Chain A
Amino acid sequence: NAGVMQNPRHLVRRRGQEARLRCSPMKGHSHVYWYRQLPEEGLKFMVYLQKENIIDESGMPKERFSAEFPKEGPSILRIQQVVRGDSAAYFCASSLSRDRGEKLFFGSGTQLSVL
C-alpha cells in the first residue's frame, strides 16, 4: 500500500511563473490536507479538501493560491505568479476520515524554490 505520493520533489520556478504541486493520497483516503513549511518555521495549515470539495481554506493566501481535489486524479495545489516568499516545503497529508484521533499520513513534500 503506497503512502502519500507528492511530485515533483523539487520544483524551481522563476518569479511570475506558475507552480503546480501534485498529491496522490493513500489508497482509500478521501481527505487531503496541504501544509506549508517555511525555513525555520513550523508547518502551517493551508487547506483541507474532501473529494471535489474544499472544506476549509482558511490558511491559504487569498490571492494566487488555489487547490483542488477532483473526483479522479491527484489533488493539485496551484500557485500563480510565484514570488520569492513562496519558496518553502509544501506537504500534503491524507486520512481515511476527519475523526479525532484518525491517523494522518504525510507525503515527502515538494520543495519549491523561486529564483
Chain B
Amino acid sequence: TQLLEQSPQFLSIQEGENLTVYCNSSSVFSSLQWYRQEPGEGPVLLVTVVTGGEVKKLKRLTFQFGDARKDSSLHITAAQTGDTGLYLCAGALGFGNEKLTFGTGTRLTIIP
C-alpha cells in the first residue's frame, strides 16, 4: 500500500512557466519533507514542514503543508532548466525522523 501519492508522475514544461506538484495521503503526518534527487545520487533535503497550513519559501519554490497534515504541494515559479530532477515527498508518521514514508516522486523536465 502506497501511503503517499505524488502527482503528476512526469511533468515537462517550458522554461519560464509555473508548475505545481502534489503529495497526497489519507494518513496524518507529524512532518513532511521535500527532497530532490539527481540520477545516481541520494536525495537532498529541500524543506521540512511540521505545522498544518504552514507555507515555506525557498527562492522560487513554495511549499505548503495541508491544514490536516495529510497533503502537501510544491509550487515552482518561472521554472529554470536547473530545476530539472526527481522531486520526492516524504512523511514522518511518528514524532521523529525515523521511518520516513516516501512518495514515488515527480520527474520534472524543464525544456529550454
A interface list, Cβ under 8 A from B? 4, 31, 33, 35, 41-45, 48, 55-56, 58-59, 91, 93, 95, 98-109, 111
In whole angstroms, how far apart are the Cα atoms of A95 and B97 in the complex?
8
In whole angstroms, how far apart are the Cα atoms of A95 and B92 in the complex?
14
B interface list, Cβ under 8 A from A? 2, 4, 30-31, 33, 35, 40-45, 48, 50, 88, 90, 92, 95-105
- List, in ascending order, chain B residues with CB within 8 A of A44's CB: 102
In whole angstroms, how far apart are the Cα atoms of A26 and B42 in the complex?
14
- List, in ascending order, chain A residues with CB within 8 A of B97's CB: 31, 33, 95, 98-100, 102, 104
- List, in ascending order, chain A residues with CB within 8 A of B30's CB: 100
In whole angstroms, how far apart are the Cα atoms of A42 and B105 in the complex?
7
- List, in ascending order, chain B residues with CB within 8 A of A93's CB: 42
B31-A108 in contact (CB<8A):
no
Looking at B35, B41, B42, B99, which has the most chain A CB atoms within 10 Å of its CB?
B42
In whole angstroms, how far apart are the Cα atoms of A111 and B44 in the complex?
18
Closest residue of A by beta carbon distance from B42:
A106
- List, in ascending order, chain A residues with CB within 8 A of B96's CB: 98-100, 102
- 8 A–B contacts, CB within 8 A, in A order: A35-B102, A42-B88, A42-B102, A43-B102, A98-B97, A103-B45, A108-B41, A108-B42
Q: A41-B104, A106-B43 are in contact. Are A100 and B99 (CB under 8 A)?
A: no
A104-B102 in contact (CB<8A):
no
- List, in ascending order, chain B residues with CB within 8 A of A56's CB: 98-99
In whole angstroms, how far apart are the Cα atoms of A100 and B88 in the complex?
18
A48-B98 in contact (CB<8A):
yes
In whole angstroms, how far apart are the Cα atoms of A108 and B48 in the complex?
21
In whole angstroms, how far apart are the Cα atoms of A35 and B42 in the complex?
10
B45-A100 in contact (CB<8A):
no
A45-B101 in contact (CB<8A):
yes
Closest residue of B by beta carbon distance from A92:
B42
